[in-house]
Structure 1
């Protein structure tokens, strides 16, 4: 499987493409306004040393004045390219289209409000993947930019593993703020699921990779510094809660869970949504997830049923750390809580599919 032949985006500034026919890594940064932070992320990526790389910035609809600032930041650069996509494809679709532009062996996705912790972080990530041929992806340790403390809103793993934040362990997902994927695996599973738009796209990708016998690993020694504070990580306005609930239920259906088996999780989400004034979003998410799953089945000719080996991997590396089903559901329901309410509560996009 390979990525679809996406229509070429509009070239805005920087190099027309990578200078080398073969190189180690592509750094992918999605842009949508927030020009100052995005420019700092670009500078961090271009400052990476000890590894051949190309930086791709994919704009998804910034205002003209902000797009002009981004263009100025890479004007004349031989190692960076700014393109403008035809519309906002979200995190999943945007990363797919930006990744398809490159040919590096590794794809490192960096949030536009994040920076590499050191000038050798990218090289460390590339070496980590190349040293373990069965790894599809690695998740970096995400630190609060201002303090260097762990960004608890970006801890996408079982809460009992938080004391091991500086260590390494096999995992069932990774955090989008900073992660590296082997391109061969990215293409083998077809990239991210565009239908997700945003929320849970990394978890879904990880499940497909694990289902092919690949591993995901958290690397606490490879770090990214993140500028979004925990208390602002989750916004209850807009449609974020809708996507959070819809996508998690859709993923469960997509991998063969029965709708009735997902009902307790769905009801727990409704309680959480009602407490935060977004009950309507959560209720709409259920039928939307069913529609997505039906569409996926029709388009793919079936569902992505997890193999026994994949389920065993998930049990060992996720469920074993989470405790009872009730405890896991509580962690799921609290996954979107702002850090200010409870530092110990589970982060976004975490949870077991079993």
Structure 2
């Protein structure tokens, strides 16, 4: 195949302009240039960005899922991108060979759907929650996995045409798992490649006020959309038990339970349950879809 062409998508709410400009500088320093770079302003104007950036300014914040869909469609319309790289606006590419490595990976495997970066803080440490597997003790262990990290990853454009876009209704949280399950169900591979590093400040997802509600609501939507019927109560029961055991904030637990109820009452999109052979494949990869 011809060498894959890499396009870059970044979402921002306009409140991290120094970090965004530093990220774009690290994109410009890559030893194999991106074919396109799209920055989406989620409900914000974006003055002062480099002229080589395609700027899309949205009147409202569409969330992570909606904003990424806008970026994907804009890159698809250009017609000269084979691999889409999503990067957090407060991340940083600390090596100059990231896009070249990505192009090499996709050139070598036409069924490679998703490549997950390793997320490391300013000291080089990777948090356990940033290792996309249950056995997270060694963040340097490369291999096929069942999900990927939202902060830094690459997506095959042909895969996206087959799986369809990000789940708009999710806004944020669990949108990566939704896309990952669809990718695996369509026969695509997800690779965790720890040599691809996005430096990112150490944070907690619970810093967002709506985190607890949305993570619970979207967890229910995820199960309702994609799991075979017998696994839905098992998956949700496991997560209720884990959340009650882990959550130390009473207010957070109330918000989580409210979001869970919202997910039961409402729809997060059409139901297309995965095949049982996909369940088995996920289990063989180390994470059966009940955990």
TM over 0.5: yes
Deviation at 1:276, TM superposition (A): 4.7
| 1:181 aligned partner | 155
Deviation at 1:309, TM superposition (A): 2.3
TM superposition score normalised by structure 1: 0.73
1:117 is the counterpart of 2:94: yes
Deviation at 1:279, TM superposition (A): 2.6
Tell me how far apart the structure 1 counterparts of residues 163 and 150 of structure 2 sit (CA, whole Å): 17
Write the deviation string for residues 230-264 of structure 1: whole angstroms up to 9, x where unpaired.
Answer: xx323356111111111112211212345533234
| 1:81 aligned partner | 54
Larger Rg: 1
Write the deviation string for residues 66-103 of structure 1: whole angstroms up to 9, x where unpaired.
Answer: x4xx52131xx2x3112201211111111011111013
Deviation at 1:28, TM superposition (A): 0.4
Q: Does the 8 Å contact 1:111/1:177 carry over to 2?
A: yes
Unaligned stretches of 5+ in structure 1? 1-21, 321-351
Write the deviation string for residues 250-302 of structure 1: whole angstroms up to 9, x where unpaired.
Answer: 21121234553323422442454463522321121122212344x63xxx4xx
- Flag the 1:195–1:50 CA change in 2: closer, same or farther, 3 A: same
Task: Specify the SS of the correspondent of 2:155.
Answer: strand
| 2:17 aligned partner | 35
After TM superposition, list the pairs within 5 Å mapping 1:202-217 onto structure 2: 202-217=176-191
Deviation at 1:46, TM superposition (A): 2.2
- Flag the 1:274–1:50 CA change in 2: closer, same or farther, 3 A: closer
Task: Specify the SS of the correspondent of 1:136.
Answer: strand
Task: Specify the SS of the correspondent of 2:60.
Answer: coil
Deviation at 1:186, TM superposition (A): 1.2
After TM superposition, list the pairs within 5 Å mapping 1:8-87 onto structure 2: 24-32=5-13, 33-62=15-44, 67=45, 70-74=46-50, 77=51, 79-87=52-60
Q: Does the 8 Å contact 2:213/2:260 carry over to 1?
A: no
Unaligned stretches of 5+ in structure 2? none
Deviation at 1:113, TM superposition (A): 0.9
Deviation at 1:61, TM superposition (A): 2.4
Q: Does the 8 Å contact 1:46/1:80 carry over to 2?
A: no
